Structure 1
């Protein structure tokens, strides 16, 4: 039975176990389990659920877009997306690398989650809001590019769920076996 670890990755942590000489935090600063590897990636400036496994086939099945595991993100965006902006996400939009698949998108109240370190930059003249966005692809910085495309740049990005696995009950920087 493959081992599967759920990790709540803090902002600024690299989705790898080493980064020789850079001084940047990596997974090794949080998880001391030999022989496990990330199943997919999460950008350094993103937070939230990262899955790790000790089995290459399991890793590929989780990370490969062909298997279309839905990924749900809590996204703090600049501005207040209207129904038309959300409909664009729901119908799929065309990015520089081609059209996206339709997504699930809805406005949500600010989630009750940990404070980000460092905090996002607040601007008195520009409101912000939160959306929940579920996609089945995994292109490079896709969520950020999608929200920018509809005129609402991402300020904070938290991956909350991948398939049946979620961050429910998992503290920032914490991990547990699935």
Structure 2
């Protein structure tokens, strides 16, 4: 299935988390949901990403979001991973990758020239109305959680401006700088 895009209705789900409790998208109606897909528990990149979400969890909650991690691992694997890393959010078990399929993140991957089917690391920010607000396809772990938090807080990462607009803004900005620098230098000497 294709990956849902901003404005699309988020595919619903009902999956067990690391404690065996059933977690459904519908139970978070009226709140933002950060739904992040990761390939495997207790692997280097996935551990870093989970710990980044853990470390920013209170800020994400304060910004009005619920964090949910999803991988094809079992409930028992999730429980071990969450306990070891002290994760304060639910990890959903998707062993038949039905949810990954629904979000278009189950696909062909390649490692050392070998092709195989697997989970593509991606994050979806789902709005209080259960519509997709933002998609991060093919996530790079470094700095990702900060981008998600910024999007939730309505920061610069929340806006996807076309490149032409960014370039035009960049051209205008330097014109004001020389005068400001000169004033700053005067003030420093004065």
TM over 0.5: no
If asked which structure has higher relative contact order (CA below 8 Å, sep 6+), I would say: 1
Identify, as 1 or 2, the structure richer in strand: 1
Q: Normalized against structure 2, the TM-score is what?
A: 0.26
Q: Normalized against structure 1, the TM-score is what?
A: 0.27
Larger Rg: 2
